[in-house]
């Protein structure tokens, strides 16, 4: 049972425009959410996180939005750069499940120069 879903396997965006990556979850007990970025032949690297007490968190060009009522998470990248081309995973955790992370299947972002 996939508790965290990324329904778009891929996304292409022009350089300089906004990239929006989406993530939906089913477990209302999730209280901590993260985004990871993964380049080929490398492990995922942490990008940004948000706790359920917030609805927005910003870090430079990256902003994560959380809509708890819709059980929806999104990552905005503005402006997009070619170096942002990678696979992005969202993940969620809950103390009820031992805080283990549940990952989505990933969205491959291509930023076109």
74 touches other proteins (CB under 8 A)? no
Query: d(Cα 77, Cα 69) in Å, to the nearest integer?
Result: 23
CB atoms under 10 Å from CB of 25, counted, come to 23
For residues 49, 56, 60, 104, the Cα torsion angle rounded to the nearest 10 degrees is 40
Which residue number, 63 or 94, has a Cβ lying nearer to other proteins?
94
DSSP single-letter state for residue 22: E
Which residue number, 60 or 113, has a Cβ lying nearer to other proteins?
60
Non-local (6+) Cβ contacts of 22 within 8 A are 6, 7, 8, 72, 73, 74, 107
Site string for other proteins, 15-44 (x = CB under 8 A): -----------------x-x-x----xxxx
Which residue number, 8 or 79, has a Cβ lying nearer to other proteins?
8
From 46, 54, 56, 82, residue interacting with other proteins (rule: CB under 8 A): 46
Piece of 13-21, 56-64, 67-75, 93-101 that binds other proteins (CB under 8 A): 93-101
CB 79, CB 16: distance < 8 Å: yes
- Residues forming the site for other proteins (CB under 8 A): 2, 4, 6, 32, 34, 36, 41-46, 49, 89, 91, 93, 95, 98-106
């Amino acid at each position: 049972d996939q508790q965290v879903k990324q329904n778009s396997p891929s996304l292409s965006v022009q350089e300089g425009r906004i990239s929006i990556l989406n993530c939906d979850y089913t477990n209302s007990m999730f209280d901590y959410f993260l985004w990871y970025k993964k380049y080929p032949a490398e492990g995922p690297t942490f990008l940004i996180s948000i706790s359920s007490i917030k609805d927005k968190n910003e870090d430079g060009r990256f902003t994560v939005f959380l809509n708890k009522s819709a059980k929806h998470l999104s990552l905005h990248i503005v402006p997009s750069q070619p170096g942002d081309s990678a696979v992005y995973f969202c993940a969620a955790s809950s103390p009820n499940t031992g805080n283990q992370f549940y990952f989505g299947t990933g969205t491959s972002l291509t930023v076109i120069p």
